[in-house]
């Protein structure tokens, strides 16, 4: 038995190292009793989810200004300090926020990091929250981080998660029912390619003016193609992002006779909506209403 001792110790040490690698210490330092969890988020998608899931138990700071465009934002030195002091940092992905890796490098030892896209199904469209299954998984990952940091409020976070999951499954049912029989299944979006996951899930087709990252595909050539497509397919309504200048969609509407309806990407919201604390569910219900009106689906 004795001669096996070094081997046993070696195995124990290896097991301990393996266990430590699975559970990094930085995720396991809870906040002091009675203190709020300091959550820093990249933009509005994680902001609204954390607000809804944490209620008053978290102080949430958002790096991106409410009505700024997430793909091309540049973080300030102040953002780096904010992230260094965070208990939890939530962002979507390097594709949606190419600036996140700079911010991440300044995250403190005790900062738990949630990268939302890690919990999403593989897709060509990085707007992963436009899929309700993904959003539920992201919500669970956020709650997992909140519970690690603030275990004394576990019951509250879990009950908020349950309510959120219920809201999302009702939304999914409303989309299935509301978009089941429409006169058209063609969504023409005079904006960037942010609704690929949503349209795919409910058997709609999507043509967008620009790519998924605002990367300069918003060309005159593409606009001409889109106008031709609208005319040829007798598209009755086009969609636009509320936070984009209305000039372009108005011009397309004038040229084609199509009416213009809003779609909400959730990644950036108007100042009014931000001040009101508009939720993910509210924005997705507005999207359903717009799609039903624009595609001629009975309400």
> What are the CA-CA distances from residue 294 to residues 192, 235, 239, 271 (Å)?
18, 9, 8, 25
Q: Which is nearer to Zn ion, 194 or 244 (CB)?
A: 194
Q: 233, 257 in Cβ contact below 8 A?
A: no
**Least distance in Å: CB of 241 to Zn ion?**
9
User: Tokens in use for 211?
Assistant: 């790519």
Q: Which is nearer to Zn ion, 105 or 245 (CB)?
A: 245
Q: Which is nearer to Zn ion, 129 or 132 (CB)?
A: 129
Site for Zn ion in 175-214 (CB under 5 A): 194
Q: Which is nearer to Zn ion, 157 or 193 (CB)?
A: 193
Site for Zn ion in 226-285 (CB under 5 A): none
Those residues whose C-beta lies under 8 Å from the C-beta of residue 173, and which sit 6 or more positions away, are: none
**Least distance in Å: CB of 267 to Zn ion?**
5
**Least distance in Å: CB of 144 to Zn ion?**
26
**Least distance in Å: CB of 269 to Zn ion?**
13
For the CA atoms of 284, 287, 292, 294, the dihedral, rounded to the nearest 10 degrees, stands at -170
Number of other CB atoms surrounding residue 19 within 10 Å? 9
Q: Which is nearer to Zn ion, 39 or 263 (CB)?
A: 263
Q: Which is nearer to Zn ion, 50 or 194 (CB)?
A: 194
Q: Which is nearer to Zn ion, 81 or 121 (CB)?
A: 121
**Least distance in Å: CB of 69 to Zn ion?**
8
**Least distance in Å: CB of 200 to Zn ion?**
16
**Least distance in Å: CB of 192 to Zn ion?**
5
Q: Which is nearer to Zn ion, 106 or 265 (CB)?
A: 265
- The Cα 27–Cα 275 span in angstroms is 32
Which residue is nearest to Zn ion, using beta carbons? 194
**Least distance in Å: CB of 155 to Zn ion?**
35
Q: Compute how many residues bind Zn ion; rule: CB under 5 A.
A: 1
- The Cα 14–Cα 20 span in angstroms is 10
Site for Zn ion in 112-151 (CB under 5 A): none
As a whole number of Å, the CA-based R_g of the chain is: 22
> Contact positions toward Zn ion, by CB under 5 A?
194
């Amino acid at each position: 038995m004795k001669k096996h001792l070094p081997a046993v110790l070696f195995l124990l040490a290896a097991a301990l190292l393996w266990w430590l690698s699975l559970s990094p210490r930085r995720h396991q330092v809870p906040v002091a009793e009675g203190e709020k969890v300091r959550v820093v988020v990249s933009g509005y998608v994680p902001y609204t989810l954390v607000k809804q899931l944490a209620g008053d138990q978290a102080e949430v700071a958002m790096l991106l200004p409410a009505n700024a465009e997430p793909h091309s934002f540049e973080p300030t030195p102040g953002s780096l300090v904010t992230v260094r002091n965070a208990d939890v940092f939530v962002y979507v992905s390097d594709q949606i926020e190419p600036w996140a890796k700079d911010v991440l490098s300044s995250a403190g030892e005790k900062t738990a990091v949630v990268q939302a896209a890690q919990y999403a199904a593989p897709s060509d469209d990085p707007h992963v929250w436009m899929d309700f299954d993904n959003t539920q998984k992201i919500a669970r990952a956020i709650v997992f981080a909140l519970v690690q940091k603030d275990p004394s409020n576990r019951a509250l976070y879990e009950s908020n998660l349950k309510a959120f999951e219920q809201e999302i499954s009702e939304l999914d049912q409303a989309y299935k029912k509301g978009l089941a029989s429409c006169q058209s299944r063609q969504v023409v979006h005079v904006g960037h390619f942010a609704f690929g996951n949503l349209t795919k899930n409910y058997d709609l087709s999507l043509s967008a003016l620009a790519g998924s990252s605002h990367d300069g595909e918003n060309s005159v050539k593409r606009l001409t193609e889109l106008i031709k497509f609208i005319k040829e397919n007798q598209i009755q309504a086009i969609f636009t992002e509320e936070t984009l200048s209305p000039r372009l969609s108005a011009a397309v509407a004038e040229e084609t006779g199509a009416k213009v309806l809003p779609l909400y990407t959730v990644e950036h919201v108007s100042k009014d909506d931000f001040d009101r604390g508009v939720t993910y569910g509210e924005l997705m219900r507005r999207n359903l209403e717009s799609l039903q009106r624009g595609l001629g689906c009975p309400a």
